[in-house]
Amino acid sequence: MAFFRRSAAAVVTSPSAPTRRTANDLRTGETATVCCLKDPEMALKLLEMGCIPGTQVRLTGRAPLGDPLMLVLGDEEYTLSLRVSEASTIQLKD
Amino acid sequence: MAGAIEHERPAVPHRGAERGAPAPERLPRLALIGNPNSGKTSLFNQLTGLNQKVGNFPGVTVDRKTGVAQLGGQRRAEVVDLPGTYSLYPKSLDERVIADLLYNPLAADYPDFVVVTVDASNLRRSLLLFSQLADLGLPAIMALNMTDVAAERGIQLDVVTLERELGVPVVPMNARKGVGLAALRILMADRLAASPPAGRFWQPDAALRPLLAEIRVHFDLPNDYLALHYAHQFRQLHFLGEADQEFLQVLTERAGFDSMAQQAAETVARYAHINELLLEVVTVTRTERREPASNRIDKVLTHRVFGYLIFLAVLFLLFQAIFAWAQYPMDMIDQGISALSAAIQERFHGPLVRLLTEGVIAGLGGVLIFIPQIALLFAFLAVLEETGYMARVTFLMDKLMRPFGLSGKSVVPLISGLACAVPAIMGARTIESWKDRMLTIFVTPLMSCSARIPVYTVLVALVVPDESWLGIFNMRGLVLMGLYLLGLSSALLSALVLKTVLKARERSYFIMEFPVYRWPRWKNVGLTIVEKVKAFIFQAGKVIIAISVLLWVLASYGPGQRQAQAAAQVQQQATAQRWPAVETERRVASARLETSYAGTFGHLIEPAIRPLGFDWKIGIALLTSFAAREVFVGTMSTIYSVGQDADLGTVQQKLASEKDAQGQPFFTPVRALSLLVFYVFAMQCMSTLAVTYRETKSWRWPLGQLVYMTGLAYAASLFVWQLFS
């Protein structure tokens, strides 16, 4: 229930936070854990699609021109397709 | 934890009191709601079958599909299919419909209860929407769908615990195959007097209580959560008056209500709760750790080389279907109509019989002839949609479309535009971004739709020899392809130009979920075909038959005595020069047409279209085919059949026998090309303009399309005729 008491500000960091790796920096096949979401408005969409902090994401591939990309999320292993601009708002844990 | 935290008033009862008791014959109403790809449409089709109606949600342009479902125990209920959504916070126009429906207990459409379709293989995400609905206090049944996919993945669900925790009935099912449907029907009949779920998943922050209490009192709302949604969404709720919106604006501003932060906190808190709940419900036993089949298929279908090759192959197949396969049923319809006309004309005579055969039946034939193509194209699109491949097409095409200001989501409407711009423009609703959507709507009519096919095929067959180039490429096929490419490139370039003019109003998202690959359900495909064909016959069909009859009248009668005078004049000449009877008859008919209303019309605009190589006869066809492009062929046929042995020759033969002043064939290749190019670009379709108006809620867009496309067509034809003739 830790998330329960966390304020929204902890989930959505300000853009000035130290630069972390984002989902766009993943190599194909690499798995990482979502740390936080950079863009408050985009975060709402990502959150409701299940991309919440603590979720595992795996980059399974990119469209032939490098954009958009495919992320497999969570234990359920469902695939989201998102643009580079959108994926780079997903910051990863080190 | 899922127990009632606070006892709140039930959501439903107070509405009966305000509206008066519902009429006794009113069917109970239930709404289907769920995530995209959770099998909602399959369930809707299974419940209602052919008992479906497509209408509109009040005030907006989102399709409202309703049907009557036969429930257990001879009871029936009206089912409303709501757009797929991930949460109750709308991110697109479609999703706003849900808020308008569910937040207003006084709405005419307000459901007695909701059936929530939930993807069993992704329960965590599906439960987010469910938990929001539960907190609104809506009586609900959960249709736990796609249990087959879950089982395949080794996911076991404890339905009894789930039911207990959620406080609503849960029906495991496979809507595609109809498994669990009987149980659901019985349950729905049982639940018609359902009470809201007992569970509360989440409570708004205590700091918001005073604000929410005030909203609750003002609008007489049954619970805090509904009040919270008013605070979040009042700007988009159509049923609120200006005064109410003003009230909420002041209230939320005073309370320092931060909608975005609140939403984020709510979603995160809900997921935390759901995760806990699922610990007790879900067990995953995986025999072997391997990727789901869908992910493996994706490796091929979205491959950098094979992905495009396969997409091209799919497009090729689609074109084969429209052009080659559809030909057989089309020929049969054509011959059937001709035979019917001939049979009637053989037995009966008189002006009414001519009205029937040359007006009504000819028009009916013009409508029916399109059914094979429309059915085949929508069958294809439905299969692509059903299998989940359409989402991958979006993925593959996004980067390619973006330089033109379009998104991967524009590909589907644009491709659908090859069948008909009307459904295609309606299909653009799935594009969340306003700018992308407007661009797509604006340029879609430039894609060569199926109504242009008759114009193309008649003119191409008229001037292009049926020969092969290099032994493999059919010349006619090549020209046809060129016309399609011309349409496509003009659509893309127009988007590019418009992109710079248009300013975006809102954020655009591309994020979407890839549905797992499935075999298509033929029932769903069949229902799509029936729906589209019906829409075409009853909407476009009416216009076509009406125009056909009107045309016949215009071409057969003329102002004052001019027709009679012209006929008499020709008769005199005939007597003087001793023409044979057949020749006289032909010339009389020709004179009558030229002095008819239609002829007068054509002559009137001839000066404007002469620089394009068109004469008054084509002028008539241009005017009448403004109603719908395919009317062009009918008009040409009517105009050129007057004076020839009606119904004996094809349109092609009639056109080919037309001679110019020097006695040379009138339809030279350049003249035909000029006409073809005109039809590639011109906005010759009332229905498209009407649907653009409906979708954009402004005359600016359809008028813009009309002016832009007609201008483009005029310029292109002028270019062709002046340069090459």
Q: If you count them, how many residues does chain B have?
A: 725
Cβ contact, residue pair B510, A47, below 8 Å? no
Collapsed DSSP state (helix, strand, coil) of residue B614 = coil
At B11 the pLDDT is: 42
Question: In chain A, what residues touch B260 (CB-CB under 8 Å)?
Answer: 8, 40-41, 44
Q: Which of B479, B397, B483, B388 is nearest to B440 (CA)?
A: B397
ipTM surpassing 0.95: no
Smallest CA–CA distance, residue B319 to chain A, in Å, is 25
- B467, burial (CB in 10 Å: exposed 0-12, middle 13-18, buried 19+): exposed
Q: Considering only alpha carbons, which residue of chain B is nearest residue A44?
A: B264
Closest Cβ opposite residue B514 in set A12, A81, A86: A81
Question: In chain B, what residues touch A40 (CB-CB under 8 Å)?
Answer: 260-261, 264
Contact with chain A for residue B83, Cβ under 8 A: no
Closest Cβ opposite residue B260 in set A41, A53, A70: A41
| Contact map slice: B 122-181 vs A, CB within 8 A | 122-125, 128, 153
State how far the alpha carbon of B335 is from the alpha carbons of B324, B347, B354, B376, in Å.
17, 18, 18, 20
At B453 the pLDDT is: 81
User: What domains are there in chain A, each with its CATH number?
Assistant: 2-92 (2.30.30.90)
Q: Where are the beta strands (DSSP E) in B213-354?
A: 282-284
User: What domains are there in chain B, each with its CATH number?
Assistant: 13-193 (3.40.50.300), 206-284 (no CATH), 524-724 (no CATH)
Rounded to an integer, what distance in angstroms lies between the CA atom of residue A51 and that of residue A43? 9
Question: In chain A, what residues touch B298 (CB-CB under 8 Å)?
Answer: 60-61, 70, 79
Cβ–Cβ < 8 Å for A71, A82: yes
Smallest CA–CA distance, residue A32 to chain B, in Å, is 17
Rounded to an integer, what distance in angstroms lies between the CA atom of residue B296 and that of residue B315? 23
Rounded to an integer, what distance in angstroms lies between the CA atom of residue B467 and that of residue B464? 8
Closest Cβ opposite residue A80 in set B262, B295, B511: B511
Smallest CA–CA distance, residue B195 to chain A, in Å, is 27
Q: Considering only alpha carbons, which residue of chain B is nearest residue A62?
A: B302
At B266 the pLDDT is: 93
Cβ–Cβ < 8 Å for B389, B301: yes
Cβ–Cβ < 8 Å for B105, B12: yes
Smallest CA–CA distance, residue B139 to chain A, in Å, is 23
For B483, half-sphere exposure in the C-beta direction (CA atoms, 13 angstrom radius) is 28
What is residue B369's DSSP assignment? T
Question: In chain B, what residues touch A41 (CB-CB under 8 Å)?
Answer: 260, 507
Cβ contact, residue pair B298, A61, below 8 Å? yes
| Contact map slice: B 88-127 vs A, CB within 8 A | 89, 91, 121-125
Question: In chain B, what residues touch A70 (CB-CB under 8 Å)?
Answer: 298, 302, 395, 514
Q: Considering only alpha carbons, which residue of chain A is nearest residue B307?
A: A64
Cβ–Cβ < 8 Å for B266, B257: no
At B19 the pLDDT is: 43
Cβ contact, residue pair A63, B396, below 8 Å? yes
Cβ contact, residue pair B89, A48, below 8 Å? yes
Question: What's phi and psi for B671, nearest 5 deg?
Answer: -65, -45
Cβ contact, residue pair A70, B391, below 8 Å? no
Cβ contact, residue pair B514, A67, below 8 Å? no
Q: Which of B184, B194, B189, B193 is nearest to B74 (CA)?
A: B189
How large is the C-alpha radius of gyration of chain B?
Answer: 30
Q: Considering only alpha carbons, which residue of chain A is nearest residue B396?
A: A63
Cβ contact, residue pair B267, A48, below 8 Å? yes
Q: In this structure, what token pair is assigned to residue B474?
A: 């059919």
Question: In chain A, what residues touch B259 (CB-CB under 8 Å)?
Answer: none
* A-B C-beta contacts closer than 8 Å: 141
Rounded to an integer, what distance in angstroms lies between the CA atom of residue B173 and that of residue B154? 16
Q: Which residues of B273-286 are buried (b: 16+ CB within 10 A; e: fewer)?
A: bbeebbeebbeeee
Smallest CA–CA distance, residue B40 to chain A, in Å, is 17
Cβ contact, residue pair B87, A48, below 8 Å? yes
Residues of A with CB under 8 A from a CB of B: 1-4, 6-9, 11-12, 40-50, 52-53, 60-61, 63-68, 70, 72, 74-83, 86
Q: Stretch A43-57: mean pLDDT, rounded?
A: 91
Q: Which residue type does A56 have?
A: Q
At B638 the pLDDT is: 62
Question: In chain A, what residues touch B263 (CB-CB under 8 Å)?
Answer: 44
Cβ–Cβ < 8 Å for A39, A89: yes
At B248 the pLDDT is: 92
State how far the alpha carbon of B222 is from the alpha carbons of B90, B284, B426, in Å.
21, 39, 36
CB count within 10 Å of CB B489 equals: 11
State how far the alpha carbon of A13 is from the alpha carbons of A39, A90, A93, in Å.
8, 11, 13
Cβ contact, residue pair B398, A50, below 8 Å? no
Rounded to an integer, what distance in angstroms lies between the CA atom of residue B364 and that of residue B371? 12
Cβ contact, residue pair A47, B264, below 8 Å? yes
pLDDT means per 10 residues in chain B (725 residues)?
Answer: 40 41 67 90 87 65 78 84 90 81 83 91 91 89 90 87 87 88 84 64 87 91 90 87 91 90 91 90 72 79 86 79 78 88 87 82 79 81 85 88 86 80 76 84 92 85 78 78 92 92 74 87 86 74 74 80 84 83 72 80 90 88 76 71 50 75 83 94 84 80 94 96 89
Rounded to an integer, what distance in angstroms lies between the CA atom of residue B89 and that of residue A83? 22
Rounded to an integer, what distance in angstroms lies between the CA atom of residue B301 and that of residue B306? 7
Cβ contact, residue pair A47, B513, below 8 Å? no
Question: In chain A, what residues touch B91 (CB-CB under 8 Å)?
Answer: 44-45
Candidates A24, A76, A77, A84: best to mutate against B (most CBs of B within 10 A) is A76
Element housing B132 (H / E)? helix B123-136
Cβ contact, residue pair A8, B408, below 8 Å? no
Closest Cβ opposite residue A60 in set B295, B509, B512: B295
Q: Which of A33, A80, A29 is nearest to A57 (CA)?
A: A33
Closest Cβ opposite residue B398 in set A44, A61, A68: A68
The residues facing B665 across adjacent strands are B659
Is the peptide bond between B10 and the residue preceding it cis, with omega within 30 degrees of 0? no
At B714 the pLDDT is: 95
